[in-house]
Amino acid sequence: MNLQASNLKSYKLQATSYLGAFTLIELMVTISIMVMLLIVALPSFRTYSYTNELDRANETISSGIVEAQTLALASPTDKDVTHDSYKIEFTQNGYKIYSGLKFGEDFANNTNSQPKEIKSNTLPKNVVISNINLSANRLIYSIQDQGRISYPTSGTFELKLTHNKLSKSQTISVNLVTGQVSIR
Protein backbone atom coordinates (compact mmCIF):
# COMPACT_ATOMS: atom_id res chain seq x y z
CA MET A 1 0.00 0.00 0.00
CA ASN A 2 2.82 2.31 0.80
CA LEU A 3 4.36 1.56 -2.59
CA GLN A 4 1.13 2.41 -4.40
CA ALA A 5 0.78 5.70 -2.52
CA SER A 6 4.32 6.74 -3.38
CA ASN A 7 3.79 5.79 -7.07
CA LEU A 8 0.55 7.78 -7.11
CA LYS A 9 2.27 10.75 -5.48
CA SER A 10 5.11 10.53 -8.02
CA TYR A 11 2.63 10.34 -10.91
CA LYS A 12 0.73 13.40 -9.61
CA LEU A 13 3.98 15.38 -9.38
CA GLN A 14 4.92 14.46 -12.93
CA ALA A 15 1.43 15.27 -14.26
CA THR A 16 1.29 18.67 -12.59
CA SER A 17 4.75 19.61 -13.77
CA TYR A 18 3.66 19.20 -17.43
CA LEU A 19 0.44 21.22 -17.10
CA GLY A 20 2.20 24.60 -17.38
CA ALA A 21 4.25 23.81 -20.50
CA PHE A 22 3.39 24.06 -24.23
CA THR A 23 3.88 21.25 -26.64
CA LEU A 24 5.75 21.66 -29.89
CA ILE A 25 2.50 21.26 -31.85
CA GLU A 26 0.83 24.09 -29.91
CA LEU A 27 3.76 26.41 -30.58
CA MET A 28 3.79 25.57 -34.30
CA VAL A 29 0.03 26.19 -34.61
CA THR A 30 0.34 29.52 -32.79
CA ILE A 31 3.25 30.67 -34.96
CA SER A 32 1.40 29.57 -38.13
CA ILE A 33 -1.67 31.61 -37.16
CA MET A 34 0.47 34.66 -36.43
CA VAL A 35 2.27 34.37 -39.80
CA MET A 36 -1.07 34.09 -41.65
CA LEU A 37 -2.41 37.18 -39.88
CA LEU A 38 0.74 39.09 -40.76
CA ILE A 39 0.46 38.08 -44.43
CA VAL A 40 -3.15 39.25 -44.52
CA ALA A 41 -2.35 42.57 -42.79
CA LEU A 42 0.83 43.45 -44.72
CA PRO A 43 -0.89 45.05 -47.76
CA SER A 44 -2.82 47.35 -45.42
CA PHE A 45 0.42 48.57 -43.86
CA ARG A 46 1.92 49.19 -47.29
CA THR A 47 -1.12 51.25 -48.38
CA TYR A 48 -0.94 53.19 -45.13
CA SER A 49 2.75 53.91 -45.75
CA TYR A 50 2.08 55.18 -49.29
CA THR A 51 -0.80 57.36 -48.10
CA ASN A 52 1.46 58.75 -45.38
CA GLU A 53 4.14 59.61 -48.00
CA LEU A 54 1.54 61.48 -50.09
CA ASP A 55 0.23 63.38 -47.05
CA ARG A 56 3.78 64.30 -46.00
CA ALA A 57 4.56 65.56 -49.52
CA ASN A 58 1.42 67.72 -49.49
CA GLU A 59 2.39 69.22 -46.16
CA THR A 60 5.93 69.87 -47.44
CA ILE A 61 4.69 71.73 -50.52
CA SER A 62 2.06 73.65 -48.51
CA SER A 63 4.60 74.73 -45.91
CA GLY A 64 6.98 75.85 -48.68
CA ILE A 65 4.26 78.05 -50.17
CA VAL A 66 3.47 79.55 -46.76
CA GLU A 67 7.19 80.05 -46.08
CA ALA A 68 7.66 82.05 -49.31
CA GLN A 69 4.69 84.22 -48.37
CA THR A 70 6.01 84.68 -44.83
CA LEU A 71 9.42 85.75 -46.15
CA ALA A 72 7.72 88.48 -48.17
CA LEU A 73 5.81 89.59 -45.06
CA ALA A 74 8.89 89.73 -42.80
CA SER A 75 10.05 93.08 -41.47
CA PRO A 76 12.49 95.05 -43.69
CA THR A 77 15.40 94.41 -41.31
CA ASP A 78 14.99 90.68 -41.92
CA LYS A 79 14.99 91.01 -45.71
CA ASP A 80 17.68 91.30 -48.29
CA VAL A 81 17.07 94.93 -49.32
CA THR A 82 18.35 94.37 -52.85
CA HIS A 83 15.40 92.12 -53.61
CA ASP A 84 11.74 93.02 -53.86
CA SER A 85 10.04 89.63 -54.12
CA TYR A 86 10.23 85.96 -53.31
CA LYS A 87 9.49 83.23 -55.79
CA ILE A 88 8.64 79.58 -55.17
CA GLU A 89 9.21 77.51 -58.30
CA PHE A 90 7.90 73.96 -58.66
CA THR A 91 9.43 71.05 -60.54
CA GLN A 92 8.05 67.56 -60.95
CA ASN A 93 9.80 66.35 -57.80
CA GLY A 94 10.04 69.38 -55.50
CA TYR A 95 10.38 73.14 -55.19
CA LYS A 96 12.91 75.95 -54.74
CA ILE A 97 12.46 79.34 -53.08
CA TYR A 98 14.36 82.33 -54.53
CA SER A 99 14.69 85.98 -53.61
CA GLY A 100 15.08 88.36 -56.50
CA LEU A 101 14.34 91.68 -58.15
CA LYS A 102 11.29 92.12 -60.35
CA PHE A 103 10.32 88.49 -60.86
CA GLY A 104 7.64 88.50 -63.48
CA GLU A 105 6.44 86.63 -66.47
CA ASP A 106 9.72 87.57 -68.18
CA PHE A 107 11.87 86.32 -65.28
CA ALA A 108 14.11 84.32 -67.61
CA ASN A 109 14.90 87.50 -69.58
CA ASN A 110 15.47 89.64 -66.48
CA THR A 111 19.16 90.49 -66.31
CA ASN A 112 18.78 93.16 -63.61
CA SER A 113 19.01 90.72 -60.75
CA GLN A 114 20.57 87.37 -60.19
CA PRO A 115 18.11 85.29 -58.15
CA LYS A 116 19.37 83.93 -54.87
CA GLU A 117 18.23 80.43 -53.91
CA ILE A 118 17.07 80.39 -50.31
CA LYS A 119 15.71 76.88 -49.93
CA SER A 120 15.03 73.76 -51.94
CA ASN A 121 13.08 70.66 -51.04
CA THR A 122 12.65 67.32 -52.78
CA LEU A 123 9.56 65.13 -52.55
CA PRO A 124 9.71 61.41 -51.67
CA LYS A 125 10.76 59.31 -54.67
CA ASN A 126 7.28 57.87 -55.37
CA VAL A 127 5.44 61.21 -55.21
CA VAL A 128 5.37 63.57 -58.21
CA ILE A 129 3.65 66.82 -59.06
CA SER A 130 1.63 65.59 -62.00
CA ASN A 131 -0.08 68.63 -63.50
CA ILE A 132 2.57 71.31 -63.68
CA ASN A 133 1.89 73.91 -66.32
CA LEU A 134 5.40 74.96 -67.30
CA SER A 135 4.38 78.55 -67.94
CA ALA A 136 2.77 78.83 -64.51
CA ASN A 137 4.91 76.62 -62.32
CA ARG A 138 5.70 79.37 -59.85
CA LEU A 139 4.21 81.80 -57.37
CA ILE A 140 5.78 85.21 -56.80
CA TYR A 141 5.17 87.13 -53.58
CA SER A 142 5.82 90.88 -53.58
CA ILE A 143 7.51 92.56 -50.62
CA GLN A 144 6.05 95.99 -51.48
CA ASP A 145 2.54 94.53 -51.59
CA GLN A 146 3.05 92.97 -48.15
CA GLY A 147 3.25 89.38 -49.27
CA ARG A 148 0.50 89.45 -51.89
CA ILE A 149 0.87 87.24 -54.92
CA SER A 150 2.12 89.26 -57.89
CA TYR A 151 2.26 86.33 -60.36
CA PRO A 152 0.06 84.71 -61.55
CA THR A 153 -2.54 87.43 -61.24
CA SER A 154 -5.86 85.68 -61.81
CA GLY A 155 -7.64 82.44 -61.10
CA THR A 156 -6.53 79.76 -58.68
CA PHE A 157 -3.10 78.18 -58.60
CA GLU A 158 -3.29 74.38 -58.31
CA LEU A 159 -0.79 71.55 -58.02
CA LYS A 160 -1.82 67.90 -58.18
CA LEU A 161 0.39 65.45 -56.29
CA THR A 162 0.21 61.78 -57.25
CA HIS A 163 1.79 58.72 -55.66
CA ASN A 164 3.18 56.29 -58.26
CA LYS A 165 2.19 53.19 -56.29
CA LEU A 166 -1.20 54.41 -55.13
CA SER A 167 -4.30 55.19 -57.15
CA LYS A 168 -4.79 58.34 -55.11
CA SER A 169 -3.86 61.96 -55.68
CA GLN A 170 -4.33 65.21 -53.78
CA THR A 171 -4.60 68.77 -54.99
CA ILE A 172 -3.04 71.83 -53.37
CA SER A 173 -4.87 75.06 -54.20
CA VAL A 174 -3.71 78.61 -53.56
CA ASN A 175 -6.28 81.38 -53.68
CA LEU A 176 -4.49 84.17 -55.56
CA VAL A 177 -6.49 86.93 -53.85
CA THR A 178 -6.12 85.84 -50.22
CA GLY A 179 -3.05 83.59 -50.45
CA GLN A 180 -4.88 80.82 -48.57
CA VAL A 181 -3.44 77.34 -49.15
CA SER A 182 -5.77 74.34 -49.05
CA ILE A 183 -5.34 70.62 -49.64
CA ARG A 184 -8.11 68.44 -51.07
pLDDT one-digit tens code per residue, 40-55? 988 888 888 899 999 9
Model-level pTM?
Answer: 0.71
Kindly state whether residue 18 falls inside one of the protein's structural domains.
no
Whether the per-residue pLDDT at 37 is higher than 80: the answer is yes
Say what the pLDDT of residue 77 is: 58
Number of independent structural domains in the chain: 1
pLDDT band at 105 (very low <50, low <70, confident <90, very high): very low
Kindly state whether residue 7 falls inside one of the protein's structural domains.
no
Q: What is the dihedral of CA 144, 149, 154, 156, to 10 degrees?
A: -170
Specify the CATH number for the domain of residue 137. 3.55.40.10
Closest CA to 72 of 91, 107, 98: 98
User: The domain containing residue 87 runs over which residues?
Assistant: 32-183
Say what the pLDDT of residue 111 is: 52
d(CA 127, CA 163): 4
Task: Quick: pLDDT tens for 136-163.
Answer: 688 888 877 777 887 777 777 888 888 8
Q: Which residue has the higher pLDDT, 108 or 81?
A: 81
Say what the pLDDT of residue 131 is: 78
Closest CA to 141 of 129, 132, 128, 150: 150
Question: Quick check: bond before 152 cis, omega within 30?
Answer: yes
Cβ neighbours of residue 172 closer than 8 Å, sequence gap 6 or more = 58, 61, 62, 65, 158, 159, 160, 161, 181, 182, 183
Kindly state whether residue 138 falls inside one of the protein's structural domains.
yes
